[in-house]
Amino acid sequence: MKKVQFKSNYSQYFFLAPQLLILLIFLYWPIIQTFKDAFTMQDAFGFGSQFAGFDNFLFIFSDPSYFTAFKFTIIYSFVITLITGSIGLLLAVQANKVMHGKSAYKTLLIWPYAIAPAVVGVMANYFFSERYGLLHHLFNNLWGFNWYENVFDAYIYVIIAGSWKQISANFIFFLAGLQAIQKTVIEASIIDCKSNIRRFWTITFPLLMPTTFFLIIINITYAFFDTFGIIDTTTIGAPGSETKTLVYKAYIDGFKGLDLGSAGAQSIMMMIIVLVITIFQFRYIEGKIHYN
Amino acid sequence: MKKLISIFVLLVSFAFTSNSYSKTEIHWWYGNSGFLGDVIIEIANRFNESQDEYMVIPTGKGSYEDNMAATIAAFRAGDQPHYSQVYDAGAAIMVAQVKNGVVIGFEEMAEKYGIDVDADNYIPGIKNFYADGDGKMIGVPFNSSTCLMYANMDILNEVGIEEVPKTYEEFEGMAQKILDAGYIPLLQSHSPWIWTENFFSRHNLLMTDGNNGYDAVPTKTLFAETEAFVYHWTKVKEWYEKGYYGYKGRAWGDNQAPFTNGEAAFWFGSAASFGGMKGVLPNFTTNPIPYWDSVTGGKEYPTFIGGAANWILNGHTEEEYKGLAKFIEFMGSPEMDLYYHNMTGYAAVTKGGIELAETINFYRASPYHKAVGDQLGLEGSTIPGGYRAGNWPQIREVIYENVEPMLNGDITVEKALSNMDKGAEKLLKQFAKTL
């Protein structure tokens, strides 16, 4: 192996500098600011700032709506991951079988991925509007749907709104995953086993595991952070605070309520939660996955 | 090199020419959108046309909350506008910022730059709402509304009701008739503002300790311990169950839409709401909000001022403040005040504007505009004309969060109100720590 040796000891820093600078300004500096906010008590304009220790954390832990948001975020990310993953997989498997007009199907199924969450929320708003919403009328005829006051109905509203777009993301990755599986493996399995379904679960799906694992992380992150725009344009957290995600609550408290201390503490809690989830995933789930 | 020099010369000359022609710019940020935002732009345009020295540049930042957050963020970045519109719930925060040098009070400004508009020129109720503890006016009154009752007269005629209800008792008596005819009797668009804050003002009751925060920094709200308030929400819940009152979520527009479409008899909204209704709903009236006869013993009290004021922000040049002073003077003139009152339905805020309205017999031509002044002009209140409570935007959120589970029966009225108290108490204490 031939080693490339640079003469200068400093040129590498020069080339790294732009990237490091971006990281510093857009990542580390805000994180440091967040820590500062979380451990101080200050008014909206940043005056009267004083060290508050863990007061802001105690404040959010004594807030029942924080736990409601916590509970909702967990339920929401679980359901969204499940729904978008399974529907995305189903669509990908079906689209993979299609012989004619394959790219037309693909394009149409990928399209929603390009739509911003806030726009998805506005569209969902039409579907669930009491006045002219198709889905509202459908569900209302089925069981008396009323998301203004019924928690379960509000869940359905934000879950449908939140899943729709993300199904496309799942579809596109699953499809790519399916196409990456070697034809020889599939052909060999057809000789051994007649059942389509069994073949799928014993051969295809295990081979898709890296994709699935990747998508689980992507979906959870999506439900945690990117659904903000959807919540803001659909239920705004109602009824009660039952459909507030943790991010949305931090936003409401920080930007609408102008309480930066509490919002900072909530951000740090979120950082810890994401850290725990990621460690858990990489330690316990990834170990069971075989990459090709 | 020659080329470079000539480009440089060209650029410099551009810089100088544009400088010599430019007017002093004054930035005004606001939190109204749609039609109300257009009127704000029109006001700025009229000012800009009226003189050559200054140029007011209005910038819409979205909702009231958005504008307040944007103003604060801009201040923290050292890039604040000269003039910013902040709503009623943020008034306590803004008044508290005078001592930190963020906000320049109106009276201080008037003194320094000789504004020809006296603080006493503004009507007292409105002046006091935006004043500090010593009664010095800090915010400059602008769009001042209050909650009003809109009535669809066609529906009332159809079911044979001749007079709109003055009290909740009267409303209760006619609700069944309206319901039987297939209409929603009542809707309202803002539970914290209309049925909490202004429930207290309309019935001459204190909402927080410390005399609504005017005498001392408030430490708690008096929701659950105010019997009349418990009674009111118990009734509201009963109405909701019977169908007398329809709840359409938190969005202002979703609650207004059925009324505008002629499906509801009464709707409680803002004085400035009628603009969008005129020409859509054929036959409606604006009326004072009802009160409980049993609570006040037949007396009527004024509600709080809603809407927003403009606040002068520190950190700009003398020349710019001179221009702003001119602009404030311009907006405080009777003609502009009446123009704004007429266009939007917000109350006339200056004595001059009200006098002008009377001289030209304005209210005969446009009776919609009358109710807001009537209701705000009521006398006899023993409570302050507002509340000075910090973190109020979040307290409104707490109120909303408890109204819904109360209506759907998850928690009792008593529980909901004591939850509100608990949430508010924590937020008030949190705010007190930052003072």
Q: Write out the DSSP string of A95-131.
A: HHH--SSHHHHHHHHHGGGGS-HHHHHHHHHHHT-TT
The 10s digit of each residue's pLDDT in A225-284 is 899 999 999 999 989 889 999 999 999 999 888 888 999 999 999 999 988 988 888 787
Hey, of A131, A151, A258, A266, which one would you mutate to test binding to chain B, going by the most B CBs within 10 A of its CB? Answer: A258
Asked if A259's CB is within 8 angstroms of B394's CB, the reply is yes
* pLDDT attached to residue B11: 60
Rounded to an integer, the average pLDDT of B357-383 is 88
CA distance B80 to chain A (A): 12
Model pLDDT, residue A20: 93
> What is the average pLDDT across A214-219?
90
User: In the structure encoding, which two tokens stand for residue A125, read together?
Assistant: 């708003």
pLDDT at A217 over 90: no
Using a CB-CB distance cutoff of 8 angstroms, which residues of chain A are in contact with residue B434? 41-43, 47-48
Q: Give the pLDDT mean for A80-96.
A: 94
Residues A117-131 have a mean pLDDT of 92
Radius of gyration of chain A from Cα atoms?
Answer: 24
CATH number of A55-288: 1.10.3720.10
Of residues B97, B254, B433, nearest to A45 (C-beta): B97
Q: How far is CA A52 from the centre of its chain?
A: 32
| pLDDT value, residue B15 | 54
- Residue B272's nearest CA partner among B143, B186, B361 is B143
Chain A to chain B, count of Cβ pairs less than 8 Å apart? 98
Which tokens hold the place of B172? 């209760």
Q: Name which residue leads in pLDDT, B276 or B74.
A: B74
Tell whether B397 is within 8 A of chain A (Cβ). Answer: yes
Instruction: For residue A85, give the amino acid letter.
Output: G
Contact B435 A150 (CB under 8 A): no
Q: Which band of pLDDT confidence, cut at 50, 70 and 90, is reported for residue A131?
A: confident
Structure tokens at B278: 């005129």
This complex has an ipTM of 0.84
pLDDT at A54 over 60: yes
pLDDT at position B18, please? 47
Say if the Cβ atoms of A131 and B257 lie within 8 Å. yes
Residues facing A236 on adjacent strands: none
Q: Is the CB of residue B32 less than 8 Å from the CB of residue B60? A: yes
Residues contacting B308, CB < 8 A, separation 6+ = B31, B64, B85, B86, B87, B88, B142, B143
Residue of chain A minimizing CA distance to B424: A63
Name the minimum distance, in Å, from the CA of B400 to any CA of chain A: 7
A276, B421 Cβ separation under 8 angstroms: no
pLDDT the model gives residue B340: 93
If you average pLDDT over residues B273-291, what whole number do you get?
Answer: 88
| Chain B residues inside the 8 Å CB shell of A63 | 423, 426
Strands (E) in B247-342, as ranges, are 264-270, 284-287, 306-313
pLDDT digits (tens, 9 = 90+) for B386-405: 898 988 989 999 999 999 99
Which residues, including other chains, have CB under 8 Å from residue B203's CB and lie 6 or more apart? B228, B291, B292, B295, B296, B301
| Segment B327-337, tens digit of pLDDT | 999 999 999 99
Give the tens place of pLDDT for each residue, B204-261: 999 999 999 888 999 999 999 999 999 999 999 999 999 999 999 998 989 999 999 9
Mean pLDDT across A192-203: 88
> Between A146 and B11, whose confidence is greater?
A146
Name which of A148, A153, A234 to mutate to probe chain B: the one with the most chain B Cβ atoms within 10 A of its Cβ. Answer: A148
pLDDT interval class at B365 (50, 70, 90): confident
Identify the CA nearest to B283 among candidates B367, B218, B220, B225: B367
A58 inside 8 A of chain B by CB: no
Q: What is the DSSP string of A145-169?
A: --TTT-HHHHHHHHHHHHHHHHHHH
pLDDT reported for residue B327: 95
Contact A148 B394 (CB under 8 A): no
List CB contacts (< 8 A) between B251 and chain A: 236
For the record, the structure tokens of B312 come out as 């002068």
Q: Where are the domains of chain A?
A: 55-288
- Residue B12's pLDDT is 58
Residue ranges and CATH numbers for the domains of chain B are: 23-144+305-376 (3.40.190.10), 147-302+390-427 (3.40.190.10)
Is-contact A77 A270, C-beta < 8 A? no
Nearest to B369 by CA among B345, B349, B336, B339: B345
Distance to chain B for A68, nearest Cα, Å = 11
B350 touching A, CB under 8 A? no
Percent of chain B with pLDDT over 90: 68
- Beta strands at B83-87 and B54-60: parallel, antiparallel or unpaired: unpaired
Give the pLDDT confidence score for residue A97 in this predicted structure: 85
User: A253 in contact with B at a CB cutoff of 8 Å?
Assistant: yes
Task: Tell if the CB–CB gap between B249 and A65 is shorter than 8 Å.
Answer: no
Query: Average pLDDT in the B141-149 region?
Result: 93
The strand pairing partners of B308, in sequence order, are: B87
Question: Which residues in chain A are contacts of B407 at CB distance < 8 A?
Answer: 149
CA-based angle B72:B73:B78, to the nearest 5? 95
Report the residue from A45, A62, A241 with minimal CB separation from B75: A45
Task: State residue B20's pLDDT score.
Answer: 43
